Amino acid sequence: MREAYDRVDLTTEHMRDLAHQMILIRRFEEKCAELYSAEKIRGFLHLYIGEEANAVGVMQALKPDDNIVATYREHGHALARGLPATEVMAEMYGKASGSSRGRGGSMHICSAAHRFYGGFAIVGGGLPLAVGLALADKMRGNDRVTCCFFGEGAAAEGEFHESLNLAALWKLPVLFVCENNGYAMGTALERSESETDICRHAQSYQIPAAAVDGMDVLAVEEAARDATEKIRASEGPFFLENRTYRFRAHSMFDAELYRAKEEVAEWEKRGPLVQFKRWTIENDFLSDDDYAMIEQDVAVIVNDAVAFAEDAPWEAEEDLLKDVTTPAAAVL
């Protein structure tokens, strides 16, 4: 981490808040892995562990009225956006109290109230949607940014290029956030892209782009604040490439044959939590006691989320077809 950061509110309170969010995501997901092994959570479970600084950092720059489009690795984004851990956990259980009433699961956490349009699980599929949300805002005169998260694997998809082109062509308020963790599932970036500098793709569409250390939450926050400021100034879209790393497997059932353990260990040394903890203690923002308190608070939240999900009811099977289309009564 660096010695100084622009645009970041360097106060104990803010540091405590960032630490709390990242630790919550970490502990929440560690619990998810445990629950997955116990068959409480099923389907695909893609953990964000190692990448927490990205969601937490970017969210600092977003306002409650902004839109978010995320991927299937979106627990961290949902929690950082403020969705209750209880509802996110219940969704993973498939319960009726889940954020999508058990219809979405881990990959499709949604919340209209948080303008969190959901986890989209087809790589690249969320980008055109983000363009459309931004188009609607531009046409309606809303001062709003649509933030679209995706991985570097999406850069190989046609929808990535179509969306960047459209957003630039129509000067739409989209913040594209590429969380480049180096691997599209198991395929390393250099094995799938002729141009490994993702920012250059964006630049070729005349979109201003910046690469940032995705393991440094303050750097991410700083970059995101800079980007959203430019977008809000009606300069069109902005492209952020967050260079990051996932510590866990792609999904739960992954032997990780494609990367060396040493590589993972090397990145873990620069983990977003360890770096941030060291930095905040060294710079006298937080103490070991503060971290112990945060861990305690987080443990309560995670335990409550699990208890909530355990106790939550199942959706009635009679309601299977509910919400496939809008019920006639709801049509105005």
Q: Which is nearer to another protein, 163 or 180 (CB)?
A: 163
In the complex, least distance from residue 179 CB atom to another protein, rounded to whole angstroms: 20
Task: Decide: is 64 part of the binding site for another protein (CB under 8 A).
Answer: no
Q: Which is nearer to another protein, 142 or 196 (CB)?
A: 142
Q: Between 266 and 305, how does the x/- string for binding to another protein read (CB under 8 A)?
A: ----------------------------------------
Task: Decide: is 100 part of the binding site for another protein (CB under 8 A).
Answer: yes
Task: Decide: is 94 part of the binding site for another protein (CB under 8 A).
Answer: no
Candidate list 1, 129, 219, 240; residue touching another protein; CB under 8 A = 129
- Start-to-end CA span in the chain (Å): 54
Task: Decide: is 130 part of the binding site for another protein (CB under 8 A).
Answer: yes
Task: Decide: is 153 part of the binding site for another protein (CB under 8 A).
Answer: no
What the block records as the tokens of 124 is: 């690249």
Candidate list 3, 158, 194, 261; residue touching another protein; CB under 8 A = 158
Q: Which is nearer to another protein, 107 or 218 (CB)?
A: 107
Candidate list 54, 71, 106, 111; residue touching another protein; CB under 8 A = 111
Task: Decide: is 108 part of the binding site for another protein (CB under 8 A).
Answer: yes
Candidate list 137, 222, 226, 241; residue touching another protein; CB under 8 A = 137
Candidate list 48, 72, 120, 279; residue touching another protein; CB under 8 A = 120
Residue numbers 40-59 binding another protein by CB under 8 A: none
Binding site for another protein (CB under 8 A): 67, 98-104, 108, 110-112, 117-118, 120, 122, 125, 127-137, 139-140, 158-159, 162-163, 165-166, 169, 322-326, 330-331
